[in-house]
């Protein structure tokens, strides 16, 4: 009888302990969602975005070093076979092969070891690999180190999205993602200008692609500053049972609120709501194939399979597509730089509208813009008109990017967010990897016009997928969306 009572008491104690923990996690998440758009949160978002600047520099560098790689004799623009590893398509494919490995196999480490640790490690990883790549002399070795660098970039892409979604309350999550993308996309005109400048003013003994690449590798220098100033995700800490650390992070944000209007922590005495909304479960990846996540997973897998062809079909091939329209390499780099200036404009406007327009609606409208302007590029030959259309297409592409990066992180719970996002996002990396060969094939057989028509077609599919089957997420807490 005594043993029976002891066992019952043990079960009751364990149940009470789990309930108390769930209640505390609920409290942490509620306090985070009540935080204002204070300076301390925006500073954390800015520091993460600065790390993302180097990530986007590395990612979009593919397009702008391409002409110099061809000019140096390392690559050719197209190849006689579909899988030609000495063609520029192989360089693009190596980038996205690495991105696929990083997102599919390694992004889940952020669910195990934390957002902050994996964020800084991946930044160091791709900075070092990119630096080594800058001093390789054969297509094979450039491909190898481009793939290795891509692994780090792939992890970083997922971790930044996961990190920001958990740092920022629901009421300005869209603005925060738009701001992060604004900072990140500033890297695109930067790399475009650097590539063009050093093509015109070469350093003695160094081709422009090598100088451009080395500059991108300097991201390693900012790691320690970011690591010291950015806190770990309080949501992740709470989910892992590290409640004291989670409370310290949230308390720091609360104490940095400078006005009575800003300071709105959830006092212990006021916690009257049931914690049932935020049960503490172990991370089980198979959940993404169960309702309500199964439909979301299928929607995002379809979306990523298609959108990357349209997005990177333009973003990674701008100079080559302009050259395909009869524009010289030098002028194509200059015009590409002008087009690249439009990259931060989309997210900048997104900061104004992101939390006012439903996230899925913004994605659909942006995809429509890409389809429209891509179709017009297919039939236009005038360089000034092509530049204008390229600017408009780029604007829509970056607005689409800011929207879906926020959207995909909102669809899954904290315990498996990085793993789930990495899984669905990896399909876009796989798709983009083969799109490098596919775009090269299309460019050779159907010209630049054929590539632009391909971009239009895939964006129409994106509109239907998200518009018809994607859930609504605006102004909803992460806990509520995951119910």
Q: What is the 3-state secondary structure (H, E, C) of the chain?
A: CHHHHHHHHHHHHHHHHHHHHHHHHHHHHHHHHHCCCCHHHHHHHHHHHHHHHHHHHHHHHHHHHHHHHHHCCCCECCCCCCCCCCEHHHHHHHHHHHHHHHHHHHCCHHHHHCHHHHHHHHHHHHHHHHHHHCCCCCHHHHHHHHHHHHHHHHHHHHHHHHHHHHHCCHHHHHHHHHHHHHHHHCHHHHHHHHHHHHHHCCECCECHHHHHHHHHHHHHHHHHHHHHHCCCCHHHHHHCCCHHHHHHHHHHHHHCCCCCCCCCCCCHHHCCCCHHHHCCCCCCHHHHHCCCHHHHHHHHHHHHHHHHHHHHHHHCCHHHHHHHCCCCHHHHHHHHHHHHCCCCHHHHHHHHHCCCCCHHHHHHHHHHHHHHHHHHHHHCCCHHHHHHHHHHHHHHHHHHHHHHHHHHHHCCCHHHHHHHHHHHHHHHHHHHHHHHHHHHHHHHHHHHHHHHHHHHHHHHHHHHHHHHHCCCCCCCCHHHHCC
Rounded CA separation 191/444 (Å):
26
pLDDT of residue 78: 61
pLDDT of residue 272: 38
pLDDT of residue 377: 80
Superfamily the domain 13-258+287-481 falls into = MFS general substrate transporter like domains (1.20.1250.20)
Contacts of 267 (CB under 8 A, 6+ apart): none
**Domain boundaries defined on the chain:** 13-258+287-481
pTM score, whole prediction: 0.85
Contacts of 385 (CB under 8 A, 6+ apart): none
pLDDT of residue 5: 44
Q: Which residues of the chain have pLDDT under 50?
A: 1-5, 7-17, 19-20, 80, 82, 259-278
pLDDT of residue 287: 93
């Amino acid at each position: 009888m005594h043993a029976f009572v002891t066992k019952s008491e043990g079960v009751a104690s364990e149940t009470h302990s789990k309930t108390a923990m769930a209640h505390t996690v609920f409290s942490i998440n509620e306090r985070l969602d009540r935080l204002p758009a204070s300076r301390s949160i925006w500073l954390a978002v800015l520091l993460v975005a600065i790390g993302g600047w180097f990530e986007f520099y590395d990612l979009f560098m593919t397009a702008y070093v391409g002409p110099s790689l061809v000019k140096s004799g390392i690559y050719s623009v197209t190849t006689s076979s579909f899988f030609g590893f000495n063609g520029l398509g192989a360089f693009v494919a190596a980038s996205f092969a690495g991105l696929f490995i990083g997102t599919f196999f390694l992004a889940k480490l952020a669910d195990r070891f934390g957002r902050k640790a994996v964020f800084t490690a991946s930044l160091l990883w791709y900075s070092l690999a990119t630096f080594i790549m800058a001093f390789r002399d054969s297509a094979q070795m450039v491909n190898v180190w481009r793939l290795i660098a891509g692994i780090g970039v792939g992890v970083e892409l997922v971790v930044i999205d996961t990190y920001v979604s958990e740092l920022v309350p629901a009421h300005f999550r869209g603005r925060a993602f738009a701001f992060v993308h604004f900072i990140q996309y500033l890297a695109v005109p930067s790399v475009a200008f650097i590539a063009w400048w050093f093509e015109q003013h070469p350093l003695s003994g160094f081709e422009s692609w090598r100088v451009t690449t080395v500059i991108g590798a300097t991201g390693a220098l900012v790691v320690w500053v970011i690591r010291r100033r950015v806190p770990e995700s309080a949501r992740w800490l709470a989910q892992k049972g590290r409640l004291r650390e989670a409370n310290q992070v949230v308390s720091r944000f609360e104490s940095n609120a400078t006005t009575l209007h800003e300071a709105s922590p959830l006092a212990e005495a006021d916690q009257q709501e049931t914690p049932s909304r935020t049960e503490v479960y172990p991370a089980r990846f198979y959940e993404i194939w169960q309702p309500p996540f199964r439909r979301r997973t299928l929607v995002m897998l379809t979306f990523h399979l298609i959108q990357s062809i349209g997005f990177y079909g333009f973003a990674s091939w701008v100079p080559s597509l302009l050259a395909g329209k009869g524009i010289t390499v030098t002028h194509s780099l200059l015009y590409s730089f002008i087009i690249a200036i439009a990259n931060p404009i989309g997210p900048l406007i997104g900061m104004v509208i992101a939390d006012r327009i439903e996230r899925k609606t913004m994605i659909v409208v942006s995809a429509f813009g890409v389809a429209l302007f891509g179709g017009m590029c297919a039939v236009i030959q005038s360089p000034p008109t092509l530049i204008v259309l390229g600017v408009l297409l780029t604007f829509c592409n970056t607005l689409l990017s800011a929207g879906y990066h926020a959207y995909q992180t909102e669809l899954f719970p904290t315990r498996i967010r990085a793993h789930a996002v990495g899984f669905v996002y990896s399909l876009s990396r796989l798709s983009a990897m083969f799109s490098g060969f596919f775009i090269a094939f299309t460019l050779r057989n159907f010209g630049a016009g054929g590539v632009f028509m391909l971009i239009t077609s895939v964006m129409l599919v994106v509109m239907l997928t998200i518009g018809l089957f994607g859930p609504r997420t605006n102004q909803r807490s992460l806990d509520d969306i995951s119910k």
